[in-house]
Amino acid sequence: MANRRNLDSAHKGKKDEFYTQYEDVEREVNAYLDYDKDTFKDKTVLCPCDDPEWSSFTRYFAQNFKKLGLKKLITTSFANDSKFEDIRVEPSDYEKSSPNYDPNKTFTHGKVFVLERKPDGSCDVDMNDLKWTYLEGDGDFRSSEGKKLRNEADIIVTNPPFSLFREFVAWLMEANKKFLILGNQNAISYKEIYPLLIGGKMWIGCRFNERVNGKNLTYRVPDFYEMNACELYQDNNGDKYITVPGTGWFTNLDHGRRHQPLSLMSMEDNIKYSKHPAIKGQPYRKYDNCDAIDIPFVDSIPSDYDGLMGVPVTFFGKYCPEQFELVRFRKGDDGKDLCIDGKPTYFRVLIRRK
């Protein structure tokens, strides 16, 4: 698909300018509040890898500071001249009108925006109370400044660069932080990521690779982005957006959807009634190198099978820890890729019913 190629080229060309929409941030955060209304209470939230002057993350947490009961909000930007695109974006009127404005730093330094409770402890603050200054460096999350801000935060929420997803997750894990971040479904198969999923150190968020109101997650892209994707469009203001399947939220914050068990049919009923030709009327196939059956579709997991089952990576978006145990990723008993009739299957996750 054209939009998939665009995402892949963004990864290879390190074009990481995909900006999350406000309603997508709000919808996802609300899922955690529905499960635990105090998820963000008295917490310091950090939104790195951002553009705080118009970021949806900054706007959402600033506008909902009191509702969430936040202690502090910190957001940072990455310097224009440190980005891979050879295009300079002129500083905003907001920046130029500030007494902090420095024409010698505006392109080479990142910025940090901070919103805190009032001296009397009141949470009654909003966007107008944000204070900003230039960082000493360019705002790279891996810098000493970035690590210091990370260490101060309780929860980190952002859309990290697609090309640096592995490094960003390692950066989070290094400090044992709570987080809610966007990523590509392909990240599930990264050797640095799937052990974290198997080990219960991170899981899939509430919305992942699914359509809402007929659309997958939609991101704003810069003006220079080429209009060649099948789901790329411009709004009435001329702003460009791309709808990208295969993206969604990763987190280690709990939410109710994670504990909803899958509704499944028995093996006999799957073979009788499945909508998938590979299942209907066919016996479940076994792997050559593992005593497990292959399940090519999540909705074909039998409810009455107690042995090992190999399921597609999309299972992670439906995984209920009370219903299934995650056993292993991709490999058979011999340490090689799971095979059927001598041919490797696509990535599979070995699970067992609890």
> How do beta strands 308-312 and 292-294 pair?
parallel
Report the pLDDT value the prediction gives residue 16, as an integer from 0 to 100: 57
The C-alpha atoms of residue 351 and residue 348 are separated, in whole angstroms, by 9
Report the pLDDT value the prediction gives residue 19, as an integer from 0 to 100: 81
Cβ–Cβ under 8 Å, residues 244 and 266: no
Residue with structure tokens 């950090």?
46
What pLDDT band is residue 287 in, cutting at 50, 70 and 90? very high
Low-confidence winner among 96-105, 232-241, 294-303 (lowest mean pLDDT)? 232-241
Nearest to 299 by CA among 265, 329, 347: 265
Tokens standing for residue 155: 């929860």
What average pLDDT does this structure show over 146-166? 95
Report the pLDDT value the prediction gives residue 100, as an integer from 0 to 100: 87
Q: How far is CA 146 from CA 34, 264, 266, in A?
A: 31, 45, 51
Reported in sequence order, the residue ranges of 119-277 that DSSP labels E, i.e. its strands, are 131-134, 155-158, 178-184, 203-208, 218-221, 232-234, 240-243, 247-251
Q: How far is CA 338 from CA 13, 311, 330, 348, in A?
A: 32, 11, 6, 8
Report the pLDDT value the prediction gives residue 322, as an integer from 0 to 100: 97
Nearest to 169 by CA among 158, 10, 6, 347: 158
End-to-end CA distance of the chain: 38
**From the CB of residue 214, how many other CB atoms can be counted at a distance below 10 Å?**
6
Asked if residue 198 has pLDDT above 90, the reply is: yes
What average pLDDT does this structure show over 330-352? 95
Cut 0.85: pTM above it: yes
Q: What are the residues whose beta carbons fall under 8 Å from the beta carbon of 30, sequence distance 6 or more? A: none
The C-alpha atoms of residue 301 and residue 294 are separated, in whole angstroms, by 9
Per-residue pLDDT of 91-150, as tens digits, reads 777 778 888 888 888 889 999 999 999 888 889 998 889 999 999 999 899 999 999 999
Q: What are the residues whose beta carbons fall under 8 Å from the beta carbon of 212, sequence distance 6 or more? A: 27
Report the pLDDT value the prediction gives residue 227, as an integer from 0 to 100: 63
Residue spans per domain, the chain: 2-257, 260-353
The C-alpha atoms of residue 351 and residue 73 are separated, in whole angstroms, by 39
What average pLDDT does this structure show over 246-270? 95
Cβ–Cβ under 8 Å, residues 313 and 347: yes
What pLDDT band is residue 218 in, cutting at 50, 70 and 90? confident
Residue 295's SS3 state is: coil
Q: How far is CA 298 from CA 181, 183, 338, in A?
A: 24, 21, 17
Report the pLDDT value the prediction gives residue 45, as an integer from 0 to 100: 98
Low-confidence winner among 204-218, 238-252, 289-303 (lowest mean pLDDT)? 204-218
Q: What are the residues whose beta carbons fall under 8 Å from the beta carbon of 347, sequence distance 6 or more? A: 188, 189, 312, 313, 329, 330
Report the pLDDT value the prediction gives residue 305, as an integer from 0 to 100: 97
Report the pLDDT value the prediction gives residue 244, as an integer from 0 to 100: 78
- In whole numbers, what is the pLDDT of the chain averaged over residues? 88
